[in-house]
Structure 1
Amino acid sequence: MDNLPGTSADPDEKMDIENELTNKFLSGEMSFADYSTRWYGYDEEENFGDDFKRMDIESRPSVQLLRKRMPKNRKYTRLSAALLGLMGEANLRFVRGDKETAEKMCHEIIKQVPNAPEPYQTLAQIYEHDTEKSLQFSLLAAHLSPPDANEWLRLAAISKQRNDIKQEMICYAQAIKAEPQDLSIHMKRLNFLISLEEANYPINVLNINRVKCYHKIVTSMPASESETIMEYAKMAAILYHNSQETEKALEVLSVAYKKCSSHFNMSDTNIFLELLMSRKQYQTCIEVFIANVGVDIEAEIQTVKNQDGLIEEQTNYLNCSIPTDLPIDLKSKLLICFIHLGAHSLVQTLLSDFLANDVERAGDLYMDIEEALSSVGLHELAMKLLEPLVKNTSFDLGAVWLKHAECLHSLGRDDDAIQSYHKVLIHAPQHSDARRKLFMILEKKGRIDEALKILKQDYKYVVSASLLYLYCCTLKKYNEMEEYLVAGEALLSRSFVRYRHPEELKIAFTSKAGIDVIQNFRTMRGENPYNEDDIHFDEEDNFEFTAEEEWNLFLELIEIACKSKQYFTMQRLSFGAVLSKSLTSHRLQIEFYCLQACLLANDYQNAMRLIKELSWKYPTIRSWNLLNVVVHYVEENVKFLSRLFQKEHYVVKNLFLGNSFLISGRYLVALKYFLEHHSQRREPLTALLIAITMLVMAAQRTVDKHHNLVLQGMCYMLTYQSLRKCDQETNYNLGRAYQMLSINNLAVEYYERALASSPIAECPQHGTIDLTRETAYNLYFLYKDHAPDMARKYMLQYLVV
């Protein structure tokens, strides 16, 4: 942090900073508020006493270090004897009318000691004709001089004329610092603030508000002004309470109590005790009860060893005398204080007296005392309060039954606790905490089916994500995979998308953004960005997936959906995961799962969209095989293949195009591509494809020269046989060719050769690759009509398992 004026620093560097700040203010580059902030290192703030200042500093660590280096009380700069003489000479010149020389002298003094007030005071008089500059010098002079409330009020009036609201407010704050016990100054600032509020001025930019003004009045006024202190302390406490600033509400009432405790009535004392108890200041509460309420307590001080073996004093409360007219809410507070202070024997006595009160009238107080007893483990005593409550129809509430159930569980009465938890769920069916605790008891007792039913939530209502996650884990634990798939999909719907239109799916696969892009698209179409049947999760539930947990759950659900052949569920999961922000790093894997799901669900349109992208990005054998699976089910596949292979020469181009034309019945075009590929690479596969194409063409009635095509086709079959060098496969395919041509004697001959050949290959992953059964079945088919005995022979020898 840069050194600022008022902090320890090198003298030359300090002077440079001081000069820079002063020059910027005088030149109009910064306002007086900014100048004072930079000069002292912090904004002008209300000082509500040591406790408030310490609390404020702890909340602003960047300011804390700076304030530690600053002197506690500011020292005002005094001019040296020489400079005092020069200052006197400047004033004399000004009086005589030599303003120019007087101004030069003042600037010389400022150059040497920039934080002395005297030269600025003189300059303010010199520039009386220039209101702006005169005000600037006056502000500096007042800021650097010992506190003078009247001067600051004068400057506030000038600022008001210039409509400089922030500067006027600073002047009031400085006037209050100068004379904090002058109520009229406080009221001027407060009235000014109220007028700004009525004019809808943005008060938050002023670093002051009405409650701070009240608080300042309370801390500033002497104890003799007790009525004023109490009036503004109550107003401040109410505003702090409304804004849930409990600690500040307690602080302002604590200041008022120290100054004028005798003016606290029962209502004030009740509020003060409530705040003290919220901060667990029970010992202070006892002191208030004794001093202000008239409670008489008998106690003794004992010395005991603590857990660390150190001697410490401990208060042992023996007896307590309570005024007969003490309000019941104060009695309950006194009882709660004794509970937390460990006066258990005294608590039992006071509790017996308290239970004599009507439950209908004091039920809420019963709950407060029960909560205190349960918090310190006195569950038996807590049950004495809960039993009357649950028997009263006015307190037949879910919150009461929940306390009753928890207390029973703590006492080991689980069977009774189960009944009470069921009562909770009657009043609040979606109560996640009750469901969770009831599940734990039921699981412990081995009632698994009942426990799982308790965890299952109704998705029509607000759902707890943490409870749903527990439900998923439990289903997995007990191998309830079908329900696990349903619950897991519901849990993932927090971050997964459900698509409505094919256009949304296209956007998802072309965009790298999150779910917001789909919601924006729906809004542009004039649609509701959310689905009507979306699950609404509890926003107060802080459950969050880690990216790894979400990914692992997704993989498990995909595997379950695949094994159970729920391919549409698999599609929903994989499509939904595409725009999940936490799974962005797995985008490529998710897209591949989408492709698999589409293939399994026979959704070839979406599969084609995915495989196109995959083929462009990763032109490998696997992607081409997948493309070959999909491409024949989609129209205009040839056009895509032509575009895919037009930029570069791929080895598989002619095979892909030839196969596409062959399936579509355009045999001559297919034959062209096969022949072109075969001329470039003499492979057995292309020889087989050429032979098949020619034989299929020979079977067409519209084709002439059938015999020539048959001869050419069989020539390529023999070429295939010579290139393939696998007896079983080639003999089987030759047999199939002759069977197709109805040359059955040759078909039988080649089938017999195939049966006599060894298997094609031995694969460690897939086992033996063997065509024996296929060959035997074809022989059976050839013999069954004319030689049934031979057909039966092949069947019994090769086909019967």
Structure 2
Amino acid sequence: MDKFIVQPGTSLDVERSKNLDIELTNKFLNGQMSFAEYSSEWYCDDNKQDIEDDRISDEDTVGSPSTQSSEKVTRRRKVTRLTPALMGLMGEANLRFVRGEKEIAEKMCHEIIKEVPDAAEPYQTLAQIYEDDPEKSLQFSLLAAHLNPSDANEWLRLAAISKQRNDIKQEMICYTQAINADPKNFEIHLKRLELLAKLEESKYPLYNLNINRVRCYHRIVTSLPVTEGATIMKYARLAASMYHESNEVEKTLEVMSSAYAKCSKIFTVEDLNILLELLIAKKEYKTCIEIFVGHVGIDIEAEIQTVKKENNEIEEQTHYLNCTIPNNLPIDLRSKLLVCFIHLGAINLVQTLLHDFLSNDVEKAGDLYMDIEEALSAVGYHELAMQLLEPLVQNTSYDLGAVWLKHAECLYKLGREEDAIESYYKVLKHAPQHPTARKKLFTILEKKGSIDEALNILQQDYKYVVNARLLYEQCIVLKKYGKLLKYLEVGEALLSKTFPRYRHQAELKIALRTKGGVELIHNFRVMRGENPFNEDDIHFDEEEEFKFSPEEEWLFFKELLEVAYKHKKYSTMQRLCYGAIMSKALAPHRKNLEFLCFQSCLLNSDYYNAMKFIREITQKNRSPRTWTLLNFVLSAAGEYSQIKFLYRLFDKDTSMVKNLFLGNNFLTSGRYLVALKYFLEYHEQCKEPISALLIAISNLVMAAQRTMDKHHNLIVQGLCYMMIYNELRKCSAESNYNIGRAFHMLNINNLAIEYYEKVLNSDPISKCSQHGIIDLKKEAAYNLILLYKGHSPQMARRYLTKYLVID
């Protein structure tokens, strides 16, 4: 079903508004809402709206930009008049009240309220009827004043009552409404400021009152008549100063424009400077010219030409021909006049006036030189701008980085690149980390073909505040010119903005167990009583807004990993992966990051931390590949104390792979009988060559222990399982080599030699395009050399020269 929309101004809208009035009034009278809440339904930001009304009422407001109306519509109370019949009834009610017939008078008032709920008269009478009940009387008086707000004295009386009751918010509303009723009464403004001062001293939360000091000053400026010029200027200066401190240019211009419209004759040079500066900031150059002509006494000769545009619209263009300036015109105003003419395109006048302006002492007028230069550069008059910059850079007081930067940019625009390079180097002398100067200087040097020098220019000193955007641009350039190791170094520095560096294992555990940002690590350090930042951390420019998008950061991170891998910078790879775990932008890639951390640990031979990752991986993903990785880490790390973890891992796993893991763990830790038990269970179920080989190894290792009994039986069992392994294993070279090793260990050398010889006569195990022929001939030959070298050196040398000589 479509929604039924009520159009404003229709009978339905009026009826709805009337019902809302009755509802709000009843809530107020029943104590369900305070008068402050009740009035806020009618007056949204009332003081701000009345400032706007006062500003619009000023006929001669200068250059003040039109303020957009608030999105939230302010409901304005219109005074409702009673009909003649109801006026007669109202008169009868007042007469009854005078005679003492209060009940009848009250009933009459309520009858009138039923007919016209937003008329003030019945509430005024009810306030008098309830004089013995101060609370009720005040409520009716507030309602009456609200419905007929033009009586300033009544609002002041209600403010005094509210003050006695210590109702600060209601008192402030009453003063504000009194000002609305009589805005030209300066005494009321002062009373509101006095209340505001007391509240500021007691540190009352003024945001609850929707008023502040600067808005009170602004209201005084817009409200007082022209005759109060001195007072207007006093408060205009105060308001302008406060608006300037909070960087509210629009408001500063509004208050100064209002003051100028009313009392321009008493504007001082300082006041004019402020107003003109604000107008220039808002690009109101023609308005500035009008002020110069009307107030400063400058004569300007101009002609207006009518030009027809391409779309057939008619436009009037003003051409300024001549200008006469009083001799006593302050230099500040002269510079602003020049700026206005520059932006208005009066280049002929600018050249004439600039010649006179340059006669001023640079030491005293250097800042004004800069203002004019900025205007000239903005419109493309770089030759004229150089006339101002040359004296500045030659003056020791203005031998500054900002001035040299302007000088360099101007030279570059004029095509004087060699001179521009020298000036840019002067900028870096004063401000070594200046990103703009470095980027511009790089562009010029790259264009000249000085690539190495250009790349060095982009390098920032990490001891000082660093610009992240320049780091990123440096990465792009380094990648472009193939400087990949430097690209990796700078890229790691850039990512350190969001990637932490861990100090100890406790921090790494936090990163692996929780998802958060760098702040989590910093908070942990604070809890430990440590400095949250490292001494050599890179400090980035906080005012800079450069930031990777999540996808850009992920792609950049992967590129750095690829470079680190290709150049075997495994430590860097591991640091990057660890840092990425705590990046908020990379949180969606958490699963991939954990595996990348594991890979980087393996590549960097950090098996201790690799064990942490593989434990998590095997618990989440059970597959032959994860078992292989787990076994590799256990073997490479020499971890023999993981039996509890393995028991938990395989607690509910019915596959026989757990026998291999548990048996191998017990075998490497020296508990051979327990290992043999697990291997035998596995062999009974699977009959695989690996299980037969492990059983044989377990028996033969136990046979080599002095503490074991029945060595002969163990040797026989071990050799039997070796033969079973030989039958199950289809690769003769491998099985023969392992049997030979078994006989070698038992010092049955003749049989060991026989099986090693079989290996030498066997075909290769496999052939690989990448690794070539894979066999065990070198290993078998080496073992034969060990067997022969003590008794037959000639035979040992024969095997050495045939199988172990590198061509």
Q: Same fold judged by TM-score > 0.5?
A: yes
Instruction: Provide the C-alpha distance between the structure 2 equivalents of 1:248 and 1:437, rounded to a whole number of angstroms.
Output: 37
Structure 2 counterpart of 1:338 = 341
Whether the 8 Å contact between 2:65 and 2:250 is mirrored in structure 1 is no
Shift of 1:722: 2.3
Structure showing greater relative contact order (alpha-carbon pairs closer than 8 Å, 6 or more residues apart): 2
CA deviations over 1:691-728 (Å, ceiling 9, x no partner): 22223333444444444333322221222222223334
CA gap 1:181/1:741 in 2 versus in 1, 3 angstroms: same
State which drifts further: 475-484 or 303-312.
Answer: 303-312
Whether the 8 Å contact between 1:183 and 1:221 is mirrored in structure 2 is yes
Structure 1 counterpart of 2:499 = 496
- The reply on whether 1:686 has 2:696 as its aligned counterpart is no
Shift of 1:336: 0.6
Give the letter for the 2:679 counterpart: F
CA gap 1:4/1:76 in 2 versus in 1, 3 angstroms: farther
Whether the 8 Å contact between 1:21 and 1:39 is mirrored in structure 2 is no
Shift of 1:662: 1.9
Structure 2: unaligned runs, 5 residues or longer: 57-63
Give the letter for the 2:718 counterpart: G
CA gap 1:107/1:187 in 2 versus in 1, 3 angstroms: same
Tell me the SS of whatever aligns to 1:49. Answer: helix
Structure 2 counterpart of 1:565 = 568
Instruction: Provide the C-alpha distance between the structure 2 equivalents of 1:365 and 1:514, rounded to a whole number of angstroms.
Output: 47
Identical aligned residues as a percent: 64
- The within-5 A match list for 1:290-439 is 290-306=293-309, 308=311, 310-439=313-442
Structure 1 counterpart of 2:61 = none
- The within-5 A match list for 1:120-269 is 120-145=123-148, 147-269=150-272
Tell me the SS of whatever aligns to 1:646. Answer: coil
Structure 1 counterpart of 2:122 = 119
Tell me the SS of whatever aligns to 1:357. Answer: coil
CA deviations over 1:530-566 (Å, ceiling 9, x no partner): 2222221111111111122222232233333334333
Whether the 8 Å contact between 1:246 and 1:275 is mirrored in structure 2 is yes
State which drifts further: 655-664 or 42-51.
Answer: 42-51
Structure 2 counterpart of 1:58 = 68
- The reply on whether 1:658 has 2:663 as its aligned counterpart is yes
Whether the 8 Å contact between 2:421 and 2:444 is mirrored in structure 1 is yes
Residue in structure 2 matching 1:671, options 656, 672, 676:
676
Give the letter for the 2:249 counterpart: T
Shift of 1:377: 0.6
Structure 2 counterpart of 1:644 = 649
Residue in structure 1 matching 2:103, options 100, 105, 114:
100
Tell me the SS of whatever aligns to 1:687. Answer: helix
Shift of 1:794: 8.4
Whether the 8 Å contact between 1:604 and 1:634 is mirrored in structure 2 is no
Residue in structure 2 matching 1:585, options 584, 588, 592:
588
Tell me the SS of whatever aligns to 1:261. Answer: helix
State which drifts further: 554-563 or 416-425.
Answer: 554-563
Q: Compute the TM-score of the two structures, normalised by the length of structure 1.
A: 0.92
Instruction: Provide the C-alpha distance between the structure 2 equivalents of 1:767 and 1:100, rounded to a whole number of angstroms.
Output: 116
Structure 2 counterpart of 1:634 = 639
Instruction: Provide the C-alpha distance between the structure 1 equivalents of 2:799 and 2:463, rounded to a whole number of angstroms.
Output: 66
CA deviations over 1:586-606 (Å, ceiling 9, x no partner): 222222222233333333332
CA gap 1:798/1:598 in 2 versus in 1, 3 angstroms: closer
CA deviations over 1:330-365 (Å, ceiling 9, x no partner): 111111100000111111111111112221221111
CA deviations over 1:291-317 (Å, ceiling 9, x no partner): 111111111111224465533111011
Whether the 8 Å contact between 2:640 and 2:669 is mirrored in structure 1 is no
CA deviations over 1:39-77 (Å, ceiling 9, x no partner): 35665545223596898973843x1xx35xx6xx75322
CA gap 1:682/1:252 in 2 versus in 1, 3 angstroms: same
Whether the 8 Å contact between 1:402 and 1:420 is mirrored in structure 2 is yes
Whether the 8 Å contact between 2:55 and 2:258 is mirrored in structure 1 is no
Instruction: Provide the C-alpha distance between the structure 2 equivalents of 1:524 and 1:604, rounded to a whole number of angstroms.
Output: 30
Instruction: Provide the C-alpha distance between the structure 2 equivalents of 1:790 and 1:154, rounded to a whole number of angstroms.
Output: 122
Structure 1 counterpart of 2:700 = 695
CA deviations over 1:120-172 (Å, ceiling 9, x no partner): 11111111111111111111111112611222222222222222222222222
CA gap 1:133/1:764 in 2 versus in 1, 3 angstroms: farther
Structure 2 counterpart of 1:26 = 29
Instruction: Provide the C-alpha distance between the structure 2 equivalents of 1:483 and 1:765, rounded to a whole number of angstroms.
Output: 31
Q: For this pair of structures, how many residues does the alignment match?
A: 794
Structure 1 counterpart of 2:278 = 275
Give the letter for the 1:174 counterpart: Q
Whether the 8 Å contact between 2:786 and 2:796 is mirrored in structure 1 is no
Q: Compute the TM-score of the two structures, normalised by the length of structure 2.
A: 0.92
CA deviations over 1:55-113 (Å, ceiling 9, x no partner): 8973843x1xx35xx6xx75322233443343333333322323223223322332332
CA deviations over 1:183-222 (Å, ceiling 9, x no partner): 2222232333233334433333222222222222222222
Whether the 8 Å contact between 2:48 and 2:215 is mirrored in structure 1 is no
Tell me the SS of whatever aligns to 2:227. Answer: coil
Tell me the SS of whatever aligns to 1:302. Answer: strand
Instruction: Provide the C-alpha distance between the structure 1 equivalents of 2:767 and 2:83, rounded to a whole number of angstroms.
Output: 107
- The within-5 A match list for 1:388-787 is 388-632=391-635, 633-751=638-756, 753-754=758-759, 757-761=762-766, 769-771=774-776, 773-775=778-780, 786=792
Shift of 1:176: 1.9
Q: CA RMSD in A?
A: 2.9
CA gap 1:526/1:135 in 2 versus in 1, 3 angstroms: same
CA deviations over 1:659-686 (Å, ceiling 9, x no partner): 1222223322222211111112211110
Whether the 8 Å contact between 1:735 and 1:746 is mirrored in structure 2 is yes
State which drifts further: 182-191 or 493-502.
Answer: 182-191
Instruction: Provide the C-alpha distance between the structure 2 equivalents of 1:150 and 1:354, rounded to a whole number of angstroms.
Output: 58
CA gap 1:51/1:788 in 2 versus in 1, 3 angstroms: farther
State which drifts further: 376-385 or 456-465.
Answer: 456-465
Structure 1: unaligned runs, 5 residues or longer: none
Whether the 8 Å contact between 1:4 and 1:14 is mirrored in structure 2 is no
